[in-house]
Structure 1
Amino acid sequence: MKKEPLFLEPVFQERIWGGTALAEQFNYDIPSNKTGECWAISGHPNGTTKIKNGTFQGTSLDDIWRNNKDLFGNYPGEKFPLLTKILDANTDLSVQVHPNDEYGMKFENGELGKTECWYIIDCKEGAEMIFGHNASSKEELRTMIDNGQWDKLLRRVAVKPGDFFFVPSGTIHALCEGTLVLETQQSSDTTYRVYDYDRTDNEGNKRELHLEKAIDVTTVPHQEQKQNYQTETKAGTVITTFVQSEYFTVQKWNVQDNTEFTQTEAFSLFSVLDGEGTIDVQGSSYKVKKGDHFILPHDFGAFELNGKLELIVSHP
């Protein structure tokens, strides 16, 4: 079979906190001015993406995962394990927490847990996020939630473009107004809301909270995540490894000149944050530009990236 990248057609999700940055920054054809999420590489049933080129054009990623496992090195599991998103937090997201695999399996009909990470693409001056809490016990956590002591409970962290955050399951967190983020996560759509600022929808209804489950799964006390980035230079490319966890490895590739690589993982996910160029393999050339997302399948072998490109690259 011809070796070719699998380019994905994004799926867009409207959210109460969404905006228009996905259109403004990436020229995406978004459904409304409340578009919060671009599901860029997804095999999740709530928004599976389809291949838009080559042999598998028009086929959904979950179908390929089930029926062509050799493309993914016969990686184990019934579900495509990762989900790549771009999030436009035009206003504050709800304060939330995600379960781990064991809890999701037991209480969410076999859904995977949700460990995730964020790369800050862009943000307004003075932007911040909620990351962690100050409770020392489950009892204190419950008391502070029940009493609405949000300023005392929640930790706030300043953010700037280029920052990276690893968010394990059990971490209380929220993106805040004015941030545009690329998220790499386990393929899960399970979120437990802790606090939603008492917001209401167009009909005056507040969104559901999930306090019992949230308290159940929250890691107490909060565990700080040490940042230990590793940087290497390969020809015309600087590669920064942000995290290597049991669920995923995430890197940033800054390609400034022609660089040769070899795909050695079961499969790799690529998102182009800026620039344009080509992927060249076995005499074929594929154009890539800002806003593109693609998978290099198993045994893709040697390839060359040409041009000036800023990419987020991940693999399980």
Structure 2
Amino acid sequence: MLKSRNLNFEYTAGNPVLKRINFQIEDAEFISILGESGSGKSTLLKLIYGMEDATDGEILFNGEKIGGPKFNLVPGHPKMKFVTQEFSLLETISVAENVGKYLSNFDLPKKKRNIRSALKAVGLLQLKDELPSKMSGGQRQRISIATALAAQPEVLLLDEPYGHLDQPLKFEIRKGIRDWAKENGTTVLITTHDINDAMAYSDRIFVIKNGRLIQIAKPEALKSQPKNKYVAGLLGVFNWLTPAEMWRLFRIRIDENRFAVIYPEEISPDDKGAEFLVDEICFQGNNYLVKAINQETEVYFYSDQRPERQHIHLGLKNFRTVRN
């Protein structure tokens, strides 16, 4: 179990990077830490791993406090592996040898099994005998991830693990890492700014903004009830309507201190709805994202067919209210 209590961190006095971080992560959970660049995601992983010392507060792993460089000659918890966006590969040995370079030779059959399992998880088993020097950036990143998997850590920390991957590979690698983690009972924390990475296989998502953990939720709960406008924005396209707009457009009253968050799929053509002017149409592959305007209010909705009329009537199927 990983637990954080009132964790604070600053690189320089008076400039906090993380502020009062509290969480509890159970064994074998798959956690995505979601936030914009510079929000403190990577720093949080460094503190969990023991690469930095907390300014205040603590992180506990199985009840024991994790210490940083002040307490350990070699930073980094022995039961964890941390994969950053910088790859440390030996160019003159094969992919498989790179993955197994830190493993003991005491039990060679086990070592080979671990290497094979790790390479399979990241989709590189067929390239096990190749040299890293011939690999693309995405392949080199996957070698680094496989090296961490082969060590079979209790906790795996991945900093933007899909950042160098082409879109077609993302689904395969996300699933491979998730399946490997569940099979081995490994706790996984990944950082990402891509909601698709977070939603795909996470047990829970931690949303961080300006060093503060502002929401912890399962993917479905995060989508259905984001805490505020920032969280809703991380989830993709959404509509943000005031109480006055909700009443004018849909004859729905909401609290004057709250706003409505409405996803594009929750607005649809309705002959009895308010009239809008179609302003923009963007083909999405499977459907169209349409922007429509009523007075000064813009809304986005999905349509299976390209709208043929300039004017359209829209109705509301669902919404939720949040504070700004």
TM-score category of the 2 structures, normalised to the smaller one:
under 0.3
Q: TM-score w.r.t. structure 2 length? A: 0.23
Point out the structure with the larger helix share.
2
Larger Rg: 2
Q: TM-score w.r.t. structure 1 length? A: 0.24
